[in-house]
């Protein structure tokens, strides 16, 4: 039997089309790329997490010569938010990547490990997390992490 999965998302061509809240989140994630430690790949990623108390937490990728000992920007930001603001749910995350040529024209999506961490946080607070993937020519806004990971693994699998 054939089945289909539908993914609903919004696509924008400019930051100016985003809400003020999302514009600020994208700006914070861009700024976070400045402190990324990406001496091996020269691929800098910034993430900005918006909590339900309007606090914005940023993170960036931190590489290590012993791959894969580094951490992605998304996990740096999410783990900091969850560790320091355990009572506050995550509303949204903006993710931005840049190479030596500047910000990527098209969005870079989170890796599998980051998707799993985002999903766990979404489940932890029983609240969807909006994912904003920034590219200078295209911005994608996804209303729910589960859309990034349709065949997900969560705690219900362990019941």
Asked, for residue 5, whether it belongs to a domain, the answer is no
Place of tokens 């609240």: 127
Asked, for residue 121, whether it belongs to a domain, the answer is yes
Determine the average pLDDT of the residues in 34-51: 97
CA pair distance 104, 157, nearest whole angstrom: 37
Which pLDDT does position 32 carry in this prediction? 99
**What residues pair up with 75 in beta bridges, in sequence order?**
none
- Using a cut of 0.75, tell me whether the model's pTM lies above it: yes
Contact 148, 110 (CB under 8 A): yes
Domain that holds residue 102: 27-146
pLDDT band at 71 (very low <50, low <70, confident <90, very high): very high
Asked, for residue 77, whether it belongs to a domain, the answer is yes
Asked, for residue 153, whether it belongs to a domain, the answer is no
Q: What backbone torsions phi and psi does residue 92 show, to the nearest 5 degrees?
A: -160, 160
Asked, for residue 2, whether it belongs to a domain, the answer is no
Asked, for residue 9, whether it belongs to a domain, the answer is no
Domain count for the chain: 1
Q: What is the CATH number of the domain that holds 106?
A: 3.40.140.10
Catalytic residue among 63, 74, 91, 122: 74
Whether residue 74 lies in the annotated active site: yes
Asked, for residue 49, whether it belongs to a domain, the answer is yes
Which pLDDT does position 151 carry in this prediction? 84
Contact 105, 137 (CB under 8 A): yes
């Amino acid at each position: 039997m054939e089945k289909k999965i539908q993914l609903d998302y919004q696509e924008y061509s400019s930051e100016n089309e985003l809400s003020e809240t999302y514009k600020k989140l994208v700006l914070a994630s861009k700024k976070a790329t400045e402190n990324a430690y990406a001496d091996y790949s020269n691929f800098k990623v910034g993430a900005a997490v918006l909590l339900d108390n309007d606090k914005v937490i940023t993170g960036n990728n931190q590489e290590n010569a012993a791959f894969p000992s580094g951490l992605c920007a998304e996990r740096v930001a999410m783990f900091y938010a969850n560790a320091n603001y355990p009572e506050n749910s995550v509303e949204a995350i903006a993710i931005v990547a840049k190479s030596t040529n500047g910000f990527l024209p098209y969005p870079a999506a989170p890796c599998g490990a980051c998707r799993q961490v985002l999903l766990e946080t979404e489940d932890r607070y029983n609240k969807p997390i909006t994912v904003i993937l920034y590219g200078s020519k295209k911005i994608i806004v996804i209303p729910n992490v589960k859309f990034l990971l349709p065949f997900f693994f969560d705690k219900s699998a362990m019941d």
